[in-house]
Amino acid sequence: MSKLVAVRLDERLLSRVDRERRRRGVSRARAVHEALAAWVARERLADAVREEAEAYGKHPVTADEFGAILGAQRWAR
């Protein structure tokens, strides 16, 4: 199910959106949908990265956690 949403855009941005969506052969609604979906995905990824960094800041990795694995790696020269 979808809902109708009114969005106000400045004319320059709308012109650029229309030019690009015509080139790709998609509707204005599809272009806005894809842009918003990409924005949500980027925000969720940024949140996950920030949460992971905070967690490692509170509980840093110790040498004994990955020492055996890191010591076993052979890097190509």
59 DSSP assignment: S
Per residue in 23-67, pLDDT tens?
999 999 999 999 999 999 999 999 999 999 999 899 888 877 777
Q: One-letter amino acid identity for 36?
A: L
User: pTM of the full predicted structure?
Assistant: 0.70
DSSP 25: T
Domain residue spans in the chain?
A: 11-72
| Tokens encoding 44 | 């969720």
H-only helix segments in the chain: 11-24, 28-58, 63-72
